[in-house]
Amino acid sequence: MKKRMMLMLTGALAVGLLAACGTPKEGADGHGGTHQGGAINALANDNGHGDHGGQDTGGHAADNYKATFTFASGTAKASENTKLNVQVTDTNGKAIHDFEWNHEKLMHIIIVNKDLSYFSHIHPEWDGKGTFTVETSFPKGGEYKVFADFVPKGGSGTTLSKWVKVEGETKPQEKVKADAELVKVVDGKEVTLTLSSAKAKDETTLTFTVKDEKTKEGIRNLEQYLGAVGHVVVLSEDAEQYLHVHPANEKASGPAAEFMTAFPNPGTYKIWGQFQHQGKVFTVPYVVEIQ
């Protein structure tokens, strides 16, 4: 067995829970229809990146599909609600109408900004005619990447993505830096992340240990979130690698929640773990350096 390595970060992060998924900046919560979004000025078909249940982002499934991202208003402005539409077609342009349920949803949409300081995870509604729709808004102007994660009926998990530009005041971009330790405080919970390996291509276990911030007692009654103990998203610092992550035990309830993945290349990666406790979803972000 590989020698277990622990990376830890001490820090306090106050994360407000919203009814929708994610918050401006680090995004802390579950999934709703109305939080985050932005306008995409052009049709978007982009790189495919794996899905939430496997190893790395370059799977062949994405080669068989295209995604078009549009906004009802034509453009997106910071802090304004806008409706995002997503249409999936095959490589010949034929609309895909049948999708499998994946983590209790037909589609997951992940949105991040250029420096990964903003994270949103939302779920669009399917109209049954070829279009997924969700209302959302972006906190600032600038570039954002939108990922559509879905499973075509009879197919495998697929993620398609597109960089989009949002109008409005921008903020200085910060460098994505690895955390020295991996302990975060979010919504009254102290969450520690450990990695079984920090080497690229190794099968790696990500273990999140959740404790009460004040008592330091392990929380043993985490609730099912999207059909599992939690949900984890991992991106490379340039947002070009979207990693497959799957729970080792979907029915776990804490204090430890384990997830399996493999980092495809050395470099800096950001990890968002999402969990539910007492009816509220909280999100904990970490940045790690992989050798």
pLDDT averaged per 10 residues in sequence order, the chain, 291 residues: 38 33 39 31 34 39 86 92 93 92 94 97 93 95 96 92 94 94 98 98 98 98 96 97 93 97 98 98 98 97
Of 146, 166, 186, the one marking the end of a domain is 166
Residues 92 and 153 in one domain: yes
Element holding 231 (H helix, E strand): strand 231-236
- Output the DSSP codes for 112-149: EETTS--EEEE-PEE-SSS-EEEEE--SSSEEEEEEEE
Token pair for 167: 């109008």
Burial class (CB in 10 A: 0-12, 13-18, 19+), 89: middle
pLDDT at 60: 57
The three-point CA angle 48-233-185 to 5° equals 160
Domain count, the chain: 2
* 214-226 pLDDT, tens digit each: 999 999 999 999 9
Residues 109 and 204 in one domain: no
- The answer to whether residue 52 is domain-embedded is no
| Confidence (pTM) | 0.80
pLDDT at 244: 82
Residues 72 and 91 in one domain: yes
